[in-house]
Amino acid sequence: MRVGVLSLQGAFREHLGVLGSLGVDACKVTRPKHLDGIDSIILPGGESSAMVRIAATTGLFPALGERIGAGLPVFGTCAGLILLADRLTDESLDGFDRLGGLDVTVARNAYGRQRDSFSAPVQVTGLDSEFDATFIRAPRIVDLGARVEVLASFAELPVLVRQGNIWGGSFHPELGADTRIHEEFLHSLGAAV
Ligand code: GLN
């Protein structure tokens, strides 16, 4: 199993570090040709408006969106969730290619500004104790379709969701030493980690 990590901007190194610590073969994805040979992909947090601008010159997002539509498993965290959301509440990314595929509506920056960043324990389906989730200018999932399963909530709102092989989270699961959410995603794909 080879896992790609979208590496245009943001916290891609941290995801690569987690995958490396789990002994998973991981590679950076910045261009369409890097999609060849990957079996799943992680979209990191960072700044979605920067990511869509960087990707606009390469055709990466149309190619990746097609792979996701054809079943490529994907886990989008924070800005990555924004890329995957079928709907955004604001127009700031209109006119740029995103990915879509996850039947949710997302409000960007709805958990506050950088200085409002916080961590909170959340109960995640499948984990036997709470996960310390870090929220940084995090997107809020304000609506979800019937096919979307909620794996974790915070303050009665979903913060980790799954629609088949498409996973999305508001927080940063790659910060800190707790690798259990990555493991859950990889286990769901049949990886032995
Ligand atoms: N606010 C950022 C955005 O809109 C996401 C923040 C994050 O990924 N930590 O892209």
Place of tokens 């960007």: 108
Domains in the chain, number: 1
Place of tokens 């995103």: 98
Assign residue 168 the CATH number of its domain: 3.40.50.880
What sections of the chain are H helices per DSSP? 12-21, 48-55, 60-69, 79-84, 180-188
> Is residue 139, in this structure, part of any structural domain at all?
yes
Tell which atom from ligand 1 comes closest to the C-alpha of 80.
8
What spacing in Å lies between the alpha carbon of 120 and ligand 1's midpoint?
18
Say if pTM beats, i.e. exceeds, 0.85.
yes
What spacing in Å lies between the alpha carbon of 115 and ligand 1's midpoint?
13
Query: Which residue owns the Cα nearest ligand 1 atom 8?
Result: 45
CB of 46 within 6 A of ligand 1: the answer is yes
Tens of pLDDT along the chain (193 residues)? 999 999 999 999 999 999 999 999 999 999 999 999 999 999 999 999 999 999 999 999 999 999 999 999 999 999 999 999 999 999 999 999 999 999 999 999 999 888 889 999 999 999 999 999 999 999 999 999 999 999 999 999 999 999 999 999 999 999 989 999 999 999 999 988 8
Range of the domain at 102: 2-188
> Is residue 193, in this structure, part of any structural domain at all?
no
d(CA 95, CA 103): 20
